[in-house]
Amino acid sequence: MLQFIDEYQQQRPKATSLQIVRSLRAYTRASYANTFWEMVAGSNPDFVKGELDDQSVEIMGQSIDFAHFMAALSDQTWGGNLTSTLSDGFLWITSKIMTGRGYDSREYTAAIGDTAQPIEVYLDKYGPTTYQPETLSELLGKFASEQDYASDLVAFAVGRLLYENPSLSVKAAILEANWLNYSGTVKRYLVDMFGAKISANGVIVNGEQIRTRIYERIRAYLLIKRDVIKGSIFHRAYRQRIRPALINHATDYFIKYLQQALVQSPQPES
């Protein structure tokens, strides 16, 4: 995989690493090249083949679904062209109107999207009038697994490396990230994305504030993806379907994973 990525980038010497990341999405899974991604990136690469699919690797001591990781990494690379910049501005304004807070696309994709997807599946299958905790827990375990979250958060770390060190190749950034501590990556994710305060022993101090922010972003993802992209911002049909209990459940599920990862993740082997 790394050899393929390195050769792919060497064949495109004028492209930046962030541009390479965006185009590599075409080699993950066909389902990852969708309308929502097109709005984030400003373009949608035609699916070529799953060169990076069906492979698991270990990075930071975590089992990573590589196709999921590459898709999550490309989620971090907004603003690739004028269309992407304008689309992201539109999504920010839309989220501000619909949720009261403006988010850029990086704030409600990847891990937030994985946490929200089981709610979509639940509503499509069971409708808006029920709340079955055990059923939703099963869907969360299937669509937002520990491997999915690890893939998202490792991608977050690699994305930060590429933004902070634009001269790094994609391969070099992945190899450098492998030396990072996973719990440190989770901590940075919580601090950078949600303004978390973490105690010396790895406890989220301002837990209620972080919970509210995660809840809001899950809700923003659902409303924007379903009412704006698939429906109508004026009808807001999906808004009526999302029971707070479903988002609360998914929020608690994600926070539980993050808190456990802060204190339990192993050090990467040397």
Q: What is the pLDDT of residues 54-80, one digit of tens each?
A: 678 999 999 999 989 988 898 877 655
Residue 236 has pLDDT above 60, yes or no: no
The pLDDT of residue 268 is 45
Residues 102 and 92: beta-carbon distance below 8 Å: yes
Cβ contact 21:72 at 8 Å: no
> In which band, very low, low, confident or very high, does the pLDDT at 204 lie, cut at 50, 70 and 90?
very high
User: What is the pLDDT, as a whole number, of residue 14?
Assistant: 92
Question: Between these two residues, 99 and 179, which has the higher pLDDT value?
Answer: 179
Residue type, 132: Q
Work out the widest C-alpha separation in the chain, in whole angstroms. 55
- Checking if the pLDDT of 89 tops 50, the result is yes
Q: Which residue has the higher pLDDT, 53 or 213?
A: 213
E strand or H helix at 63, and its extent?
strand 62-65
Of residues 265, 150, 255, the one with CA closest to residue 210: 255
Percentage of residues in the chain having pLDDT higher than 70: 73
Contacts of 101 (CB under 8 A, 6+ apart): 95, 216, 220
Q: Mind listing the pLDDT tens digit for each residue in 107-122?
A: 656 899 999 999 999 9
For residue 70, CA distances in Å to 8, 27, 28, 206 come to: 14, 9, 7, 31
pLDDT band for position 43 (cuts 50, 70, 90) = low
| Average pLDDT for the chain | 83
pLDDT band at 145 (very low <50, low <70, confident <90, very high): very high
Residue 23 or 161, more confident: 161
Least confidently predicted of 28-37, 163-172, 228-237 = 228-237
Compute the distance between CA of residue 234 and CA of residue 244 in angstroms, rounded to an integer: 21
Looking at residue 242, what DSSP letter applies? -
What's the rounded Cα separation, in Å, for the pair 6 and 20? Answer: 10
What pLDDT score does 210 carry?
A: 96
